[in-house]
Amino acid sequence: MVVKLLKDPLLHFLALGALLFAVSLVRDERGDDPDRIVIDAATVERVAEAARRLHGREPTRDELRELLEPHIRDEVLYREALALGLDENDDEVRRRLIEKMQYLTQDLADPEPPSEEALREYFATHAERFVLPETITFEQVFFSPQMRGESLDASVEEGLRLLRDGADPAGIGDRTPLRFRYDDAERARVEVLFGAEMTDALFSAAPGSWDGPYESDFGLHLAKVVEHRPARRRTFDEARDDVVAAYAAERRAERNEAEYARMRARYDIVVEWPDADDASRAAANGAGS
């Protein structure tokens, strides 16, 4: 039973999750003794509680020791690496520390709810952000050059005649991973699938009738534009949810930038321009710039 418990990956996952809390506790209690590793009773209890919840019984002391050992191992290796200076001049360590600092200094809390007046003013100032893009709804039938060979052009011509006469599109053309119908498709999406030339032609076509052939990287297509919706500006009420989200994101970005500016101001930034002499370097840099 002990072996089975200790090999349970879910239990290890829960225990290691609880041990995430231990990292700061371990390092806070180092004091003047870097050779001492402390895992406090609260951390042990969290691991024990994870084991209780998973298996419905109290874990033994030996089981707890085994569950704690991976974290102790990590801490030992971490301290040994620091002692050897392996954290110095390491781009990967530097990048991870920068990422962590960015996370810690970001204002992750939502800003105070804006007033109705502030939201409407923001919408009026940034109305172009809330434009509904131009879209088309269209149907397409595909003809494969590989499958049709020399009969491709004749097959496309016959297919167009049948479609215009009201034939069922399901019985015309060749199989393809492309969908038969695309609803409210934006220009960028159509271009990714069918290419710029066919996209331009579809967005210029009059709705209501089958036309073509249109050429894509896959082969030839017959298509019918069902509906063409030009771009238009939404009203405030239509765009309200997006306005609230954009307003909040902008306020958070402003606060994050202000926090960075506060930290940056603590440093004297010196840029040693390679093509400048000492006097011009000093003039260009200035104090804290």
pLDDT in tens, 253-267: 888 888 888 877 887
Q: Are 145 and 274 in contact (CB under 8 A)?
A: no
Ranges assigned E (strand) in the chain: 131-132, 135-143, 181-186, 210-215, 220-229, 232-233
Residue 195 lies in a domain: yes
* pLDDT beneath 50, residues of the chain: 1-6, 11, 15-16, 18-31, 287-289
Task: Give the pLDDT of residue 23.
Answer: 43
Burial class (CB in 10 A: 0-12, 13-18, 19+), 37: middle
pTM of this prediction?
A: 0.50
Q: What's the total number of domains in the chain?
A: 2
CA–CA distances in Å: residue 234 to residues 117, 126, 185, 189, 239: 18, 12, 18, 21, 6
Task: Give the pLDDT of residue 26.
Answer: 46
pLDDT in tens, 133-160: 999 999 999 999 999 899 999 999 999 9
Residue 248 lies in a domain: no
Q: What is the CATH number of the domain that holds 164?
A: 3.10.50.40
d(CA 260, CA 252): 12
Among 181, 210, 230, identify where a domain stops: 230
Range of the domain at 55: 2-88
d(CA 21, CA 228): 56
Task: Give the pLDDT of residue 222.
Answer: 96
Residue 190 lies in a domain: yes
